[in-house]
Chains A and B, each alone.
Chain A
Amino acid sequence: MDDLVGEFIAETREGLEALDSELVRFEQHPDDPEILGGVFRLIHTIKGTCGFLGLMRLQTVAHAAENVLGAFRDGSLSVSVEAVSAVLETVDLIRGIIDALARTGAEPAGDDSRLIGRLEAVFAAPTAAAPVKAPSAGATLVERLGGDATLDAAAEVLLARIASDPALLALFEATDPDVFQGAVRDALCTRARSGGPDLLADALGRCASAPLSAACLATLRAHLAAALGDLDAPQDAVTALLSAAAPAPPKPADASPAAPTAAEPEAAAQTIRVNVDSLEHLMTVVSELVLIRNQLIQTLRAQPESPFAAPLNRLNQVTSELQEGVMTTRMQPIAGAWAKMPRLVRDLSRDLGKKIDLVQHGQETELDRQVLELIKDPLTHMIRNAADHGLETPAERRAAGKSETGRITLSARHEGGAIIIEVGDDGRGLSPARIRSKAVTSGIATVAQAEAMSDAEALQLIFRAGFSTAAQVTAVSGRGVGMDVVRTNIERIGGAIELNSAEGAGTQFTIRIPLTLSIVQALIVECCGIRFAMPQSGVVELVSANDSSNRSIEYINGAAVLRLRDRLLPLISLQTLLGLQPRDARRGDACIVVAEVGAFTFGVIVDRVFDTEEIVVKPVSGILRHLRIYSGATIVGDGSVIMILDFKGMSAEAGVDQVAAAVQARAPAADTVAGVPEALLVFKTAQGAPKAARLASVARIEEVRLEDVEIVDGRTVVQYRGGLMPIVGADGANAQPATEARAKPLLVYARDDRHIGLLVDEIVDIVEIHVATSLAANGAGSLGSLTVAGRATELVDIGHFWRRIFGEAVAAQEAAKQSRRLLVVDQSPFCALLLKPLLARAGYDVTLCATPEDALALHAAGDAFDLIMADISTQTAHAQRLASAFRQANRWRDTPLVQLALGAAGGTFDGAGVIAAVSETLQPMKGAA
């Protein structure tokens, strides 16, 4: 029986998958008899098998749903949203019971009376509305008996009774219970509707493995009679139905319904169920065969005249065919991953009060079973996102001049050895501006970074961890874990995700995934005589670094980097990472494999790069699984085993993640503010000298083409935001108009409504560094030098350029303002991210301390400030520590204190207000000075 239950579970699960999409189609096209027939058959099969296996709970539930569906089919009940919902809920319940059954082997206990009650209410609704037809003698036999459903139930009970009677079981054992039940039901229905001859004996005879004796027939009839009696069919009707004599003449009106016999054609078994393990085994054997073939071909290559050449040629072809064949057995249409989507969209549209159309293209596109499983969740998530965030409410859509019904498109197609899946919606699209502000408030980017981003770059932020554009968290989505997980999952299977969005017109995600996981394209590399495979999907490009190619590896404090075009590429040496000993004393030149993990790019130094090869990925053995840098192992053509390197694991192992974090100058977390390193923008001037500028004081970074530079009244200017902005070379020289085509970065500084631009040749990096307090100024325009990445770098004095351009008067005022030193004592990232750049841009010299103790240390060091800003409003431990710190800071007693009340600010941040408050507080001081 166990095998039967197992098969039932597998079969039912398949049926349920199909049912979800069928039912939703059914709701849209309630008049399509084919869909209705399909749905009815599915539920019916479930119910029938349950009865046979003695799963009573499932049977009752399925029975109630079947009644409703049967009524739809007979046209006695019109399809309503309520009814479909109840049936869908039943499907969910059945699914739950099946899952429990699979786990424990027994039906879980539970009370389904409410759901059954709902189904019965739906079922009873029209009958109650229609004139009540008592099961009187005037009604047809079918009606008196309680409809087709009763007859079907009786057939089922008969089946169960046969199963419990060994003598009868022997006769019917060979028959499919479904076929049997169908035959009996059809016989009974035909008789009950149209009268006519007794078909029951015929039907039973057809199903039995041996001719039925009269006694046997009588027993079966008795069983049926008892069953109908149990189902509350009136006794006279039962007798009329089962008597061998012809009943009363049929009523012509009842002859119309089509006989259901034609509706259930016997589908010949076109498919067989195969255990996945046997497929996997087959796959292993085939890959072994491929290897042997390769070895044979290699051996035979030396002897072209060998008598084995011809058979080997054949073997070669057959093996390839076999490999392809086995591969296809693992392929499944993507519809398997999509089956749940129509149901999901339907439920979402109900929950969210939106009208949504789901359009699907390319369901038949096939991909590996394993990949299929892995993309289900990301796809579901993206559909949820599209429905919840992407599409607007009907009212909003009307206002925007779109049709009320939103559309989600799901399409799949093959493209060059990969599957392209597109998930699109025609909703509101992503707003780069909203993403920028969201990124700043959630600490993913600083204001300066957010402003420096192009719209396309800003859109990419939604793939960062902890990002959500949803204004509010809904039950459906918006908890801030989302697209980053989707991206990670897709990248884990060697895929990539791209995003396209037009504000107001919708969003489109394009996912590219490999057809299969077990065979991947890999780059074979060698390091110290050992070969490794690198998944081609993560490789961006190959760069050779040697003296002749004028590109060499440089070292910053022992860390290898490579200048690659416009950026600095952190490098990992495979030899160092793996602790290998070099074979030759001196390596001539190295190859660098540029790899990409998420948004982060790095290079891997290897000795040699061979070819790309298709490799069969096998898991890493258990005792090596702790090595994160391997994602698998494979056997290459010559039979040796090589390890597959995992870029993500490598970058984690080498610690380049942290390097990358510094390179990208992510927003410092609250606890790292303590040391207050300053973010410096490192750039090169036209003369190639490295210089640095405080990132916080840079308002924006623009790109300017030298041909756009004009000279007006002896000044070099460029048109900027509707006005003219003076620009000056970062090396102090005036920028000259030129015809050079390459756009150059321009650092834009802003004070009040004035801008100046600092023209640099190339932006090298952003570094976090402790700027020494005393910098020896060595010339105009320089605040002094400091060491960045091992190189002496000049820190630009932007005040010098303000003075030079806007004259001494303005500069003096600016300088006075500049001299105002502010101390901000707060640990929240808000200060580091927003307040400090804001004040710095307004011309103040801002020092940030995370803790009162740090501030006290500055006091001890003899620092003086014109104004202190601190949060002293709340009775927190922080505030108390602050109070005690200020009691000790004697020299600061006369320094005015501005209260920061971040917690109470209510979420809105009034930048202009803060500046006004600061300058007002400083006003009397200025007068006194």
Chain B
Amino acid sequence: MTNASLPMDDGARCGLVSVRVNGQAFGVPVLQVQDVIAPTPINRVPLAPPEVAGSLNLRGRIVTAVDMRRRLGMPDRETPQAAMSVIVERGGELYALLIDDVGDVLWLSQAEHEPNPVTLTAAWRDLCDGLYRLERELLLVLNVERVLSLTPASLAA
């Protein structure tokens, strides 16, 4: 991660770590990202919700891994071991969002931010905070808090 030289989130611009899940581009707010790590062994946790891939050891801290493909209702990846992780923090605990690939940190103008299209499925609408129109594709902004809110309701859904 080389985001130190870049300006901080100053209201006018918004920093997003671009990630790719099953071909779709998403942005994770850079201020919430602690780390991006290479594929690492994940230990399964039986009885955990299906979205939870397991837990992993990040330099002595236990990190719970959430598979974004499952969280977004996408098909499982063919090589499960190859997932990259974006480490985010919530309530003093670390979580790893398993994604397919990580791109650059994008600094986008708040003015270009657009709300979720009304046709977006309810599940995705709940997890995304609007989008940005990039040159070649659309980038959905992930709401980390809601991605990690695995309430029993979302389990049933």
- A residues with a Cβ closer than 8 A to B are 284-285, 287-289, 291, 530, 578-580, 618, 621-624, 626-627, 629-630, 633-635, 639-643
Contacts and interface: CB of A to CB of B under 8 A. Distances in A.
B48 interface: yes
A530 B44 contact: yes
Given A288-B59, A289-B60, A621-B93, 17 more contacts: A291-B57, A578-B47, A621-B64, A621-B95, A622-B93, A622-B148, A623-B52, A623-B66, A623-B148, A624-B48, A626-B152, A627-B45, A630-B45, A633-B55, A635-B57, A640-B57, A641-B56
Nearest to A626: B152
B100 to A, nearest CB: 22
A285 B64 contact: no
B93 A641 contact: no
B7 interface: no
B23 interface: no
Given A622-B93, A623-B150, A641 B46 contact: no
Interface residues of B, number: 26
Interface in B6-22: none
Interface string B53-82: 011110111101010000000000000000
B60 A291 contact: yes
A288 B60 contact: yes
A118 to B, nearest CB: 47
A779 B95 CA distance: 70
B61 A284 contact: yes
A531 to B, nearest CB: 8
Contact of B60 (A630, A635, A640): A635
Contact of A287 (B45, B55, B60, B91): B60
B99 to A, nearest CB: 17
A626 B153 CA distance: 13
Contacts of B41: 640
Contacts of A578: 46-47
B50 to A, nearest CB: 12
Given A579-B46, A621-B93, A643-B45, A284 B60 contact: yes
Main secondary structure of the interface of A (DSSP, over half): mixed
Contacts of B90: 622
B130 interface: no
B43 A640 contact: yes
Nearest to A639: B57
Contact of B45 (A622, A624, A626): A624
Contacts of A640: 41, 43, 57
A621 B49 contact: no
Contacts of B48: 624, 627
A626 B150 CA distance: 11
Contact of B64 (A291, A530, A623): A623
8 contacts: A287-B60, A621-B55, A621-B62, A622-B148, A634-B62, A640-B57, A641-B43, A643-B46
Contacts of A291: 57, 60
Nearest to A574: B46
Contacts of A626: 152
Contact of B49 (A618, A623, A635, A642): A623
Nearest to B56: A641
A642 B43 contact: yes
Contacts of A634: 62
Contacts of A288: 59-61
Contact of B55 (A284, A579, A641): A641
A623 B51 CA distance: 10
A402 B87 CA distance: 68
Given A623-B150, A640-B41, A579 B60 contact: no
Nearest to A642: B43
B151 to A, nearest CB: 9
Nearest to B66: A623
B105 to A, nearest CB: 26
A633 B55 CA distance: 9
Contact of B62 (A285, A580, A622, A641): A641
Contacts of A642: 43
Contacts of B44: 530
B82 to A, nearest CB: 19
Contacts of A285: 60
A579 B41 CA distance: 22
A550 to B, nearest CB: 32
Interface in B89-118: 90-91, 93, 95
Interface string B26-45: 00000000000000010111
